[in-house]
Amino acid sequence: MKRVMFVCKKNSCRSQMAEGFARTLGEDKIAVTSSGLEASQVNPTAVEVMSAIGIDISAQTSDALSDFKPEDYDAVISLCGCGVNLPDAWVQREVFQDWQLDDPAGEPIETFYRVRNEIKERVETLLQSLGVEPASEQISVGESVSR
């Protein structure tokens, strides 16, 4: 079973959504964790936009990358371009990708929907590259609905 770490600056939006998608699409075929360069809290709007497509990330926690060991992971995915700030041991894993997605925090909900949909596509591609067929038929992002 491949072990994946999603990392971002504060582990509040992008990495939390990626963790939610990977857990759902990976159907227990991969182990998934997310963390931040610093811990904060899960953004309520991220919880809302994931809930809108049937993925509950409300129980996920925001954790600091320093709480984990790089050797425990096969794949490390940076979602914010923070790869340059990661210790070498993290970027030298079997798979390292730096996705550089927009930060939706503080932006209109439409930005959250757009970034969420981008994350879903990238997580599906990542899972396929790790030999896991994503269960994407379970999730339809469809048209984003604003409040």
Q: What is the dihedral of CA 44, 106, 103, 46, to 10 degrees?
A: 10
Active site residue 80: yes
Question: What is the phi/psi pair of residue 6, to 5°?
Answer: -100, 130
- Active-site option among 4, 5, 8, 49: 8
CA distance 24 to 118: 16
Active site residue 82: no
Burial per residue of 109-118, b for 16 or more beta-carbon CB atoms within 10 angstroms, e otherwise: bebbbbbbbb
Residue appearing with tokens 């970034």: 115
- Active-site option among 42, 65, 80, 86: 80
Catalytic residues: 8, 80
